[in-house]
Amino acid sequence: MNKVLEVRNLSKIYGPGCPHCIESTGPEADTNLCPHCGSVVAIHDVSFDLFEGEILGVMGESGSGKSTVVKALYFDQAPSGGEAIFFDGDTQHELFALNAARQRWLRNHRFGMVYQNPNLGLNFNISAGGNIAERLLMSDLMDYGAIRERAKALLARTEVLLSRVDDLPKHFSGGMQQRVQIAKALATQPPLLFLDEVTTGLDLSVQARILDLILEIQQELKTAMVVVTHDLGVIRLLTGRAIVMKYGRVIETGLTDQILEDPQHAYTQRLVASAL
C-alpha cells in the first residue's frame, strides 16, 4: 500500500500567540482560547498518515479543530506550524514549503474538496456544467466539446440529471448541490479528496445516497479521503480509521470499529455512549 499523505505536528493559532498558549489550552484546560493572550489554538500537534484508497475520519464536536485540519491541507488557511508531505507517484510535495502557484496547482489538479456549504465549493452564478468546466479549464483542458462531455459524464456519475447540466446550482436542492460539488471535486481524478461535513443538514435519505456515492467512488477510483464529521454514523459507514479531536488536539486515534466499540479516552467514551 502506498502512502498518500503524511501530516506531522500541524498547528494553527489564530491571534498573536504567546508562550503560554499551548499549556493553557487543550482538553485538560477545557478550552481552546488562551487566557493569557486571547489567541485561539485551533489545532496543535496534529499528526497522521493516509494511504491510497483509505478513508480517514476526523471526528469531534464543533470547535474541536477538525475542519481546520482539512482547510490547512487544502491551502484554504495557512497553518502556523507543522508539515505535510503529499506523495504523488514518484514525487513528494512538502505542502507548506511550496510557493502559492505550486499550491494552487496541486489544489486544482491533485486534490478535491467538498464543503459542507455548497456556496464555498460552487459558483452559484454559473451553470452546474460550468462549475465542472472551471476545474477542467484550470488543468488546461482547452477543448470545449471534450470539457462538456467530461462534465456530463461526471454529473451522470454523481446522479445529477443531465437535463440540468446548464442550470444554475442555486436552483438545486441541497443534496443535488452536494452531488455537483462532488462531481466538480472529482473532475481531475484527484488521488486525494477532502470532505468537510458533506452530509450535515441534509435529509436522512439524501445523506444515505451521498454516502453510498462516496464509497463507490473510493472503491472505483482508489481515492484517498479525509472525512471530517461530527456524525458517528458517517464515521462508522465510511471510514476505516479515525482520529478523535477535542479543543484542537488529537486525543485518540485508531481503527474505526475499535474507537466505536472500545474507546480508550474518557471523552471518546462519552461521545460514543451519547450517540449509540
Partner 1 sequence: MNAMSHTTGGNAYNFGFLDEYAKKEIRRAVLKAIAIPGYQVPYASREMPMGRGFGTGGLQLTLALIGPGEVVKVIDQGSDDSVNAVNLRQFIEMTCPGVSTTTRTAEASLIQSRHRIPERPLTPTQILVLQVPYPDPLVVVEPSEDKRKIMHGEADYSRLLVKLYEDIVQFDEITISHRYPTRINGHYVIDPSPIPRWDVPRLDHAAALTLFGAGREKKIYAVPPHTRAEPLAFSDVPFRVEDFRDAAGRRRACARCGCTDSFLDEFSSDAGEKVYQCSDTDWCDEKLLRKESLRGEAA
Partner 2 sequence: MNPPILQVEGYAKHFQLHEQNKLIPSSHNVSLTVRSGELTALIGPTGAGKSSVLKGIYRTYLPSAGRMLYRDALGHELDLALAGEHQILELRRREIGFVTQFLHCLPRQPTLDVVAQPLFGLGVARPEARQRAADLLSAMSLPERLWSVSPATFSGGERQRVNLARGFIARPRLLLLDEPTASLDPKTAECVIGLIEGLKAGGTAMLAIFHHPETTRRLADQVVELAPPPAVETLLKEIA
Partner interacting with residue 273 (select from partner 2, partner 1, none; CB below 5-8 Å by kind): partner 2
- If one counts every other C-beta atom within 10 angstroms of the C-beta of residue 117, the result is 14
- Contact assessment for residue 169 and residue 160, using Cβ atoms and an 8 Å cutoff: no
164 is in the binding site of which of partner 1, partner 2, none (Cβ under 5 to 8 A by kind)?
Answer: none
Distance (Å, rounded) from C-alpha 243 to C-alpha 65? 12
Cell numbers found for residue 15 = 491571534
Residue 84: what residue type?
A
CB of 72 to partner 1, least distance (A): 19
Question: Which of partner 2, partner 1, none lies near 163, with the C-beta cut-off 5 to 8 A by kind?
Answer: none
**Among partner 1, partner 2, none, residue 211 binds (CB under 5-8 Å by kind):** partner 2
Q: Identify what 117 binds: partner 2, partner 1, none; CB under 5 to 8 Å per kind.
A: none
8 Å CB contact between 194 and 225: yes
Q: Which residues bind partner 2 (CB under 8 A)?
A: 1, 49, 51, 54, 208-209, 211-212, 215, 219, 237, 240-241, 253-255, 257-258, 261-262, 264-266, 269-270, 273
CB of 177 to partner 1, least distance (A): 18
- What's the min distance (Å) between Cβ of 256 and partner 2? 10
For residue 154 the three cell numbers come to 461526471
Pick 51 or 96: Cβ nearer partner 2? 51
Instruction: Say how many CA atoms lie within 13 Å of 260 toward its Cβ.
Output: 18
Other C-beta atoms within 10 Å of 253: how many? 18
Please report how close the Cβ of residue 125 comes to partner 1 at its closest, in angstroms.
9
Q: Which of 209, 255, 252, 211 is nearest to 229 (CA)?
A: 211
Instruction: Return the number of the residue (87 or 172) whose C-beta is nearest partner 1.
Output: 172
* Alpha helix segments (H runs only) across 164-225: 174-186, 204-221
Helix pair angle (128-138, 174-186), 10° resolution? 20
For the bound state, the minimum distance from the C-beta of residue 123 to partner 1, rounded and expressed in Å, comes to 8
Q: Which residues bind partner 1 (CB under 8 A)?
A: 100-101, 104, 108, 123, 126-127, 129-130, 133-135, 137-138, 142-148, 166
259 contacts 268 by C-beta, under 8 angstroms = yes
CB 198 within 8 A of CB 233: no
Residue 149 partner contact from partner 2, partner 1, none using kind-dependent CB cut-offs of 5 to 8 Å: none
β-bridge pairing 91-94 and 111-114: unpaired
Output the smallest distance, CB 274 to partner 2, in A: 10
Binding site partner of 143, from partner 2, partner 1, none, Cβ cut-off 5-8 A by kind: partner 1
Shortest approach of partner 2 to residue 192 CB, angstroms? 16
